[in-house]
């Protein structure tokens, strides 16, 4: 039998050296989080990706040479459903146009998760029924990094109160199983679902944006969501 | 066929070098945990985030230059419910006001996870129907609401039943884990206990700062009670 003697009175590994980036980030003041305080309505009746009407815009407002923002997660939870929709589709798009957000919706404040560090993020967050001016809608550098069905072609309702969509940027090796009870084969369901959507990593350099679009076939009403998320900034 | 000879008594990798931070932290005495011994009632009939009435306060009481507290998890389990509530919401807020807790509730002792090391945490924990004095409720520059979501969405009661468990994980999970609910109605009402794992951003409490948990719901008409369990890294 091999025995190990742990040098309790000797210098050992510094626990911080073993932390993951996510654990070290708050100690160094390099992580920001944002959240809503109430449900936020998005634009009603969107049936296609509509550049003028995203649901969420995150922008790195830093000057050239400033810090990058590397996304960790964005989570939405349905607080009002569009009962008429027969699909639900999302798209994440990056761009290099400053001032993407023009008006409407809610501004969410990025908060430094080190309680003793002032919040001084270069990021801005707007969520809700946003308006993007024509000139800011899509530059030659615009990139759709992911577009999929959250729920495929089916029959209503494809969305109910409590449905949760957790977009993870570069963190998971795969989408985690969706837990749905009482879902029909065509995607209609009556019980709340929870989805984890594994995405590629995304870094926003100074002056760039990340925009979330939501749309549905046969959309006829205005859903609302809570928005919560976080990113690394350094 | 190739064979590999292992050297059981020779020089090999030190197992401790392969441990994760969580495993090593207990060996080094850098991890503290807290728990309740019974359900604790929180303030009754809260229908909004109420600064004066949080359910849990964790404070780093260290002097300037002292240790940081990096949260690992906080878990609550319902032992009595607000049966009339039609939704169930939470908010986690950070602040840099010392002595956030004023009175009431229960004091929970942070216990060093290394059995042979005395408890000497810089952290304090209060849980229950807590009272926060007006002057301590929210600082001007440092109060930060970092997460506020529904644990059970807008619906009809009951959205909470005895045994419902909510496991807040700070920076540890790469994603929300699936919620397991049986017999839930389309509006969120349910009759069987559920388990939620809520993946949150990482959180570090520097000296003199606090993390505060608020719980509330629409149409709440009675006081719920919970067990509280949690842990953090401290160095």
CA B187, chain centre distance (Å): 27
Tell me the mean pLDDT in the region B144-173.
83
Portion 145-184 of B in contact with A at CB < 8 A: 145-150, 152-155, 171-172, 174-182, 184
* Contact residues on chain B for A16, CB-CB shorter than 8 A: 235
Residue from B205, B213, B198 nearest B167 by CA: B198
User: In 3-state terms, what secondary structure has residue A226?
Assistant: strand
- pTM flag (> 0.90): no
Pairwise CB contact (< 8 Å): A179 & B155: no
Q: How high is the pLDDT of residue B24?
A: 84
* Contact residues on chain A for B30, CB-CB shorter than 8 A: 15
The pLDDT of residue B224 is above 50: yes
Beta strands in A61-186 (DSSP E): 69-80, 88-95, 106-108, 111-112, 123-127, 143-151, 164-169, 176-179
Percent of chain A having pLDDT more than 90? 56
Pairwise CB contact (< 8 Å): B186 & A179: no
Residue B158: pLDDT band (50, 70, 90) is confident
Nearest CB among B19, B30, B174 relative to A168 is that of B174
Nearest CB among A2, A31, A172 relative to B174 is that of A172
Give the count of beta carbons closer than 10 Å to the beta carbon of residue B60. Answer: 26
CA A177, chain centre distance (Å): 18
Average pLDDT over all residues of chain B: 85
The pLDDT of residue A213 is above 50: yes
The pLDDT of residue A222 is above 70: yes
Rg (CA), chain B: 20
In chain A, the residue whose alpha carbon lies closest to the alpha carbon of B142 is A118
Q: How high is the pLDDT of residue A154?
A: 72
Residue A191: pLDDT band (50, 70, 90) is low
Phi-psi region of B206 (alpha: psi -120 to 50; beta: other; left: phi over 0): beta
Lowest mean pLDDT among A67-76, A138-147, B7-16: B7-16
Place of tokens 């349905």: A78
Per the model's pLDDT, the better-predicted residue between A140 and A178 turns out to be A140
**Pairing state of beta strands B69-80 and A123-127?**
unpaired
Tell me the mean pLDDT in the region B180-198.
60
The answer, for B121 touching chain A at a CB cutoff of 8 Å, is no
Per the model's pLDDT, the better-predicted residue between B56 and B16 turns out to be B56
Q: What are A185's two structure tokens?
A: 């084969």
ipTM, interface predicted TM-score of the complex? 0.79
Q: Give the minimum alpha-carbon distance from A143 to chain B in angstroms, rounded to a whole number.
A: 25
Q: Give the minimum alpha-carbon distance from B103 to chain A in angstroms, rounded to a whole number.
A: 23
Give the count of beta carbons closer than 10 Å to the beta carbon of residue B140. Answer: 5
User: In 3-state terms, what secondary structure has residue B101?
Assistant: coil
Phi-psi region of A4 (alpha: psi -120 to 50; beta: other; left: phi over 0): beta
Q: How high is the pLDDT of residue A138?
A: 92
Lowest mean pLDDT among A171-180, B24-33, B41-50: A171-180
Per the model's pLDDT, the better-predicted residue between B155 and B4 turns out to be B155
The pLDDT of residue B164 is above 50: yes
Cα separation, A213 vs A218, whole angstroms: 16
């Amino acid at each position: 039998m091999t025995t190990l003697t742990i040098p309790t009175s000797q210098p050992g590994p510094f626990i911080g050296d073993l932390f993951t980036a996510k654990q070290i980030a708050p100690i160094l003041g390099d992580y920001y989080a944002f959240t809503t305080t109430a449900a936020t309505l998005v634009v009603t009746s969107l049936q296609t990706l509509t550049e003028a009407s995203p649901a969420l815009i995150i922008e790195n407002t830093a000057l050239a040479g400033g810090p990058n923002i590397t996304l960790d997660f964005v989570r939405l939870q349905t607080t009002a459903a569009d009962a008429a929709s027969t699909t639900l589709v999302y798209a994440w798009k990056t761009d290099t146009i400053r001032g993407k957000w023009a008006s409407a919706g809610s501004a969410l404040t990025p908060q430094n998760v080190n309680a003793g560090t002032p919040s001084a993020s270069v990021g801005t967050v707007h969520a809700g029924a946003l308006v993007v001016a024509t000139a800011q809608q899509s530059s030659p550098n615009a990139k759709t990094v992911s577009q999929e069905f959250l729920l495929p072609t089916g029959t209503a309702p494809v969305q109910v109160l409590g449905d949760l969509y957790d977009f993870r940027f570069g963190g998971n090796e795969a989408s985690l199983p969706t837990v749905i009870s009482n879902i029909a084969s065509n995607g209609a369901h009556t019980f709340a679902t929870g989805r984890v959507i594994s995405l590629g990593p995304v870094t926003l350099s100074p002056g760039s944006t990340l925009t979330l679009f939501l749309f549905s076939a046969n959309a006829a009403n205005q859903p609302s969501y809570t928005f919560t998320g976080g990113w690394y900034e350094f | 066929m190739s064979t590999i000879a292992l050297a059981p008594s020779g020089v090999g990798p030190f197992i401790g070098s392969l441990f994760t931070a969580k495993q090593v932290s207990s060996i080094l005495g850098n991890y503290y945990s807290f728990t309740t011994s019974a359900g604790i009632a929180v303030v009754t009939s809260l229908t909004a985030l109420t600064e004066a009435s949080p359910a849990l306060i964790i404070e780093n009481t260290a002097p300037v230059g002292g240790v940081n507290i990096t949260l690992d998890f906080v878990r609550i389990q319902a032992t009595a419910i607000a049966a009339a509530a039609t939704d169930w919401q939470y908010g986690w807020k950070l602040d840099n006001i010392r002595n956030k807790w004023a009175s009431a509730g229960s004091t929970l002792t942070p216990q060093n996870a290394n059995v042979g090391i005395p408890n000497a945490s810089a952290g304090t924990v209060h849980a229950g129907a807590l009272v926060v004095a007006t002057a301590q409720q929210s600082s001007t520059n440092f109060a930060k609401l970092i997460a506020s979501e529904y644990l059970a969405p807008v619906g009809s009661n009951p959205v909470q039943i005895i045994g419902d468990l909510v496991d807040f994980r700070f920076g540890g999970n790469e994603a929300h884990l699936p919620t397991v609910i049986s017999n839930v109605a389309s509006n969120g009402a349910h009759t069987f206990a559920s388990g939620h794992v809520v993946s949150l951003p990482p959180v570090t409490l520097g000296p003199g700062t606090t993390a505060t948990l608020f719980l509330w719901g629409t149409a709440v008409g009675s006081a719920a009670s919970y067990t509280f369990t949690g842990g953090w890294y401290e160095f």
